[in-house]
Structure 1
Amino acid sequence: MSTRTEATRQRLFDAAMELIGQRGAEAVTVDEIAAAAGVAKGTVYYNFGSKNELVAQLLQHGMGMLMAALAPAGRAEPAQHAAHDAGPSPHARTSPERGAVAAPSPADDTFHEVRGMVTRALRFIEAYPGFVRLWMGEQWRGDGTWHTLLAARRAEVLVVIRGALDRVAARREPAPGQDLDVVATALFGAAFMVGMDRVSTTPPKPLAPAAEAITALAIGAFGG
């Protein structure tokens, strides 16, 4: 695919994401998508064949971006909070000079991967709220055209989240009665609800408290 064609497809994705995210796929016409992207109507059909195929590829495109965002960065996210309960973290270090409790490093903060993943998810939602509205709107329509596609991609996201929780479980026993599949779903739902709430105001609500509140769900699941 040429650079020019890829740029055109990206403009169509961006336009469709914004319009469909606001009004729903059925309410938006190909003419409106083309006009918003600054291309001729025929360009939409040339690139995608139909509006349904455009939406299907848009959902795949957006989910691919989300999966990339959830992937761990080249280095661990810095831990910004030393304690998650009434006392100091069991991984916190004491300064020999002052006897003060120091924040844990990324290497010994048990929940740094979960916190980093949550933070990146919130940033993704802030950058692409139209896509998230589209996804959430179509996900829960059991008879929707893209329900099967979205259910499969949602399952992939949950596998990534569950993997992060499993790595926590390798270091720390889950609290009695906790099901990590349910915890993964809770983190997924909380991130999207809190993320959309953040971007409902201008400017968005602060990122760090939102990320910490969601991460607290995981901490609580491990008896934190």
Structure 2
Amino acid sequence: MARSGTRERLFGAAIELIAESGLAATTVDQIAERAGVAKGTVYYNFGSKAALFSALLEYGVERLATALREAASGRAPLDALDAVVAAELAFIGEHESFARLLIAETWRSGGDWQRTARLIRERAIGVLADVLRDAVAAGDLRSDLDTATAASAVFGMVLTVALDWRALQPGRPLADVQATLMDLLRGRLTR
């Protein structure tokens, strides 16, 4: 199996286990067993559990940011906002364990939570900030909108609502969840 395929399996196993039990309780042995590889494979690919976790966060955040960028690409600003909200919802729906991990580990005491928060802001929330700045420049949103704070608020709102949807309302259609979020956003951000 190619190294990238092995890394994908290790990432998947680590995300599931850490979301289930937390980082401290998850062992390299468990990650290797869940991924169906030898323990040495984890060390060969990452060096340590801490390095695996760091790479896992970067990998997941970059995948999310890529999904958001692709959703916004080539669209008018308000259409891009709709598309980015839909993309974040869809990403969390598909990668629920990663979203739970992101929330749990970002705010867990100890560790490098500020680095993780910065990573999320720079890569994922930054996409939203760009979309909001474009919408302000186009005259679609209030000219006095603090786009950096608004981007964080939108990202956090979508993340929280997506987790609520997946955990408590899994039968509810994605389109309904997105429509409610967009009604809230349009009512508060537009002129």
What TM-score results when the alignment is normalised by the length of structure 1? 0.76
Structure-2 change in CA distance of 1:44 and 1:169 (3 Å): same
Shift in Å, 1:175:
4.1
Computing the radius of gyration from Cα coordinates, the structure with the larger value is 1
Looking at structure 2, the residues matched to 117 and 195 of structure 1 have their Cα atoms a distance apart, in angstroms, of 13
- Please tell me whether the aligned partners of residues 69 and 120 of structure 1 are also in contact (alpha carbons under 8 angstroms): yes
- Please tell me whether the aligned partners of residues 15 and 101 of structure 2 are also in contact (alpha carbons under 8 angstroms): yes
Deviations 1:127-178 (A, max 9, x none): 111111111011123x432313312212112221111111111222644864
- Please tell me whether the aligned partners of residues 119 and 211 of structure 1 are also in contact (alpha carbons under 8 angstroms): yes
Shift in Å, 1:14:
0.4
Structure-2 change in CA distance of 1:202 and 1:176 (3 Å): closer
Paired residue for 1:129?
96
| Matching residue's letter, 1:222 | L
Please, which runs of 5 or more residues in structure 2 have no aligned partner? none
Deviations 1:14-61 (A, max 9, x none): 000111012211111111111100011111111111111111101111
Structure-2 change in CA distance of 1:202 and 1:181 (3 Å): closer
Paired residue for 1:82?
none
| Matching residue's letter, 2:118 | A
**What count of residue pairs does the alignment treat as equivalent?**
189
Paired residue for 1:6?
4
Give the ranges of 4+ consecutive aligned residues of structure 1 lying more than 6 Å apart after TM superposition. Answer: none
Looking at structure 1, the residues matched to 180 and 135 of structure 2 have their Cα atoms a distance apart, in angstroms, of 18
What TM-score results when the alignment is normalised by the length of structure 2? 0.89
Residues 8-47 of structure 1: pairs in structure 2 closer than 5 A: 8-47=6-45
Q: 2:138 aligns with which of 161, 171, 191?
A: 171
Structure-2 change in CA distance of 1:125 and 1:36 (3 Å): same
Q: Give the aligned CA root-mean-square deviation in angstroms.
A: 2.1
Paired residue for 1:199?
166
Paired residue for 1:183?
150
- Please tell me whether the aligned partners of residues 138 and 147 of structure 1 are also in contact (alpha carbons under 8 angstroms): yes
Q: Do structure 1's residue 60 and structure 2's residue 27 form an aligned pair?
A: no
Q: Do structure 1's residue 144 and structure 2's residue 110 form an aligned pair?
A: yes
Looking at structure 1, the residues matched to 157 and 171 of structure 2 have their Cα atoms a distance apart, in angstroms, of 17
Q: 1:51 aligns with which of 49, 52, 66?
A: 49
| Matching residue's letter, 1:119 | A
Looking at structure 2, the residues matched to 173 and 41 of structure 1 have their Cα atoms a distance apart, in angstroms, of 53
Shift in Å, 1:72:
3.2
Shift in Å, 1:201:
4.7
The alignment-based identity, stated in percent, is: 37
Report SS of the residue matched to 1:25. coil
- Please tell me whether the aligned partners of residues 121 and 152 of structure 2 are also in contact (alpha carbons under 8 angstroms): no
| Matching residue's letter, 2:116 | L
- Please tell me whether the aligned partners of residues 198 and 205 of structure 1 are also in contact (alpha carbons under 8 angstroms): yes
Shift in Å, 1:203:
4.3
